[in-house]
Amino acid sequence: MNLEYPYNYQNVEDMASKYLPEEQIKIIKESYELAKDAHEGQFRKSGEPYILHPIQVAGILTELKLDYATICAGFLHDVVEDTKYTLEDIRERFGDDIAVIVDGVTKLDKVKFRSKKQSQAENHRKLFVSIAKDLRVIFVKLADRLHNMRTLKFMKPEKQQAISKETLDIYAPLAHRLGMAKIKSELEDLSFSYLHHEEYLEIKRLVENTKEERKDYIENFIRTMKRTLVDLGIKAEVKGRFKHFYSIYKKMYQKGKEFDDIYDLMGVRVIVEDKAACYHILGIVHSQYTPVPGRFKDYIAVPKSNNYQSIHTTIVGPLGKFIEIQIRTKDMDDIAEEGIAAHWNYKENKKSSKDDNIYGWLRHIIEFQNESDSTEDFIEGVTGDIDKGTIFTFSPKGDIIELPVGATALDFAFMVHTQVGCKCVGAKVNGRMVTIDHKLRSGDKVEIITSKNSKGPSIDWLDIVITHGAKGKIRKFLKDENKETVSKLGKDSLEKEAVKIGMTLKEIESDPTLKKHMEKNNISSMEEFYFYLGEKRSRLDILINKIKVNLEKERAASTITIEEVLKKKEEKRKEGKNDFGIVIDGINNTLIRFAKCCTPLPGDEIGGFVTKLTGITVHRKDCPNFHAMVEKDPSREILVKWDENLIETKLNKYNFTFTIVLNDRPNILMEIVNLIGNHKINITSLNSYEVKKDGDKVMKVKISIEIKGKAEYDYLINNILKLKDVIAVER
């Protein structure tokens, strides 16, 4: 199958014919014929006829079993934007329903904007407002974006970066908010592969290296679980679940976890017939395995805001390994994968309830569109809080209000209604009076206290709220009510900071760093900038620091002598040494890390490779990964070497991990531990697991130790290999 272009028109028609009536299939065919005619002579960057793109979009929509109007819009989504046909032509031929969807995904190309950034923001605003009017707009837009990401390799690198960033910032969060997990995960992984390519390859390699081992383990667990359920007469589907690359990246690079510490790389999903069976199976799992405290979540009783329902629990499985188990019904599983799209497909024959969480969010978009003064505020308000952790709070009537972690009583008030937020003077949380800055926790029952005499939001409120929606509403109030006061506050604060670094207000106003900041944020005048400062939308501390650094450089450059330049160069050379025992000319020691794929030790031949995220990674010279990276980009290779003198004075030993392959027998682990102890080497961790090698079952023991260097390691390994039933040692 061609992964970039898996569908042809006949595939789409065949899939649609399985759930749509014949008269609607005819209209779908008409939309295809018009799109084919309209795009005649147009080609994609790959050189393929352009019509193949709308076919793929329609194919993705048909896979989701969406209604005929959405599929037609999939074929026609680029017609108004890129061909001679107008929206009126579409409306006349196919009716209002399809025309509205096509209009929703059509960019505002006829409008002139100050900058590309403003153009992008206004197009996003139009898209979100269109989604709120007809949800099918986002289905087409996500399908369009998904296929564009699948074929992104044909674009220029700078385009790849820009489109991937937009996808990660806007479209993946939207897919998540609508519960469309499959599309969200693919968009994230594709964007990740372009934005952080080296990290993507590293994670891919780590996953593939341990894939078979994890697969064997989880399959054994699934077999055991299936037998248990059959014996108890419970009908259920049990399957494995793999963690996506981008999720691994976020845990490794954003939360600082090691790959081996991510225990939910692969989990188990149990699909049952009804809700009661979910809780029955939960009881069975917890009776047979030890649950991990704090790792149980019941999203069936309290669904997420994207309508996601499932029970999550983490248990201690065989060999002491943690396993995440998700338990849900078939309908819940469909919604978990397809999200709100599942409500539109043939099985339901009706659209989503106007009272559910998704439609509540859509109403919020309409409200926020009417209240937000700035397009940037509007976009942030719609997408800014999506990817944060969530808490579930309750109104006095028992309605669930979902908020991001860290939200305050004031955030809750603005979530209820703008006027409630503006008149808020305090709150009762679980019956106890609290201030407006009180941080809420999951399970809190919140009653907002308002006063008619309240003067409304002040500047300080912007430091209390964390949700983008609340910030936008406060800023609009401040702008409407006291624009002059806020602007003066911003101007005074800038003047005060200017004096501190020895500059006048006039000098600051003409500073290139300030001009660049204003241009970047689409601020057209100093008056507007002062207002931005006053309402704390522009970070004054960061801006002043940048101006200060540039000013100091200029002053230093005008007075520095040749002797001082030479002195600085010598100092920098000396600073290149670090407590890793490695010399790298002119490099700060915080930028160095050892590669986990080959774990170099003093005595090994080593090489360095400059990475974007982690600085300089030191590999063994014979490491295959190092050779592959250098071959791909030789300019990033850097000369590194061990410093014997520094190694001698080094207080800390080197952390090192190796794996012993052995035939299992009683006391073998104890013999290995005693041997290492006799060498006066400290063990930091030990993990054992069963694998298949040449058709036979063997044990692998992964051991982490603290060691001085290669000579000490070689001596240790030689002695380990002498032990009975030890097959090999893998470094």
Torsion of CA 714, 716, 721, 725, to 10 degrees: -150
Which residue, among 207, 315, 190, 312, has the nearest Cα to 251 in the 3D structure? 207
Give the integer Cα–Cα distance in Å for 458 and 422: 10
Tokens, residue 41: 């002579």
Is 603:711 a contact under the CB 8 Å cutoff? yes
H/E stretch holding 729: strand 726-730
Question: Residue 444 carries which side chain, given as an amino acid letter?
Answer: D
Phi then psi dihedrals of residue 71, to 5 deg: -65, -45
Helix H, strand E, coil C: the string for 277-312 is HHHHHHHHHHHHCEECCCCCEECCCCCCCCCCCCEE
Number of CB atoms found within 10 A of residue 608's CB:
22
Query: Which residues are known catalytic residues?
Result: 81-82
Tokens, residue 16: 């649609």
H/E stretch holding 661: strand 654-662
Helices and strands (H and E) in the chain: how many: 31, 21
H/E stretch holding 468: helix 468-500
Phi then psi dihedrals of residue 190, to 5 deg: -65, -45
The answer to whether the Cα torsion of 673, 676, 680, 685 is positive or negative is negative
Q: How would you classify the pairing of strands 637-638 and 654-662?
A: unpaired
Is 450:427 a contact under the CB 8 Å cutoff? no
Q: Could you tell me how far CA 226 lies from the centroid of its own chain?
A: 33
Q: How would you classify the pairing of strands 592-594 and 400-404?
A: unpaired
Contacts of range 96-103, beta carbons closer than 8 Å, 24 or more positions apart: 97/69, 98/31, 98/69, 98/72, 98/73, 100/130, 100/133, 100/134, 100/137, 101/69, 101/70, 101/73, 101/77, 101/134, 101/136, 101/137, 101/140, 102/73, 102/76, 102/77, 103/130
The answer to whether the Cα torsion of 475, 479, 482, 484 is positive or negative is positive
Question: Residue 341 carries which side chain, given as an amino acid letter?
Answer: A
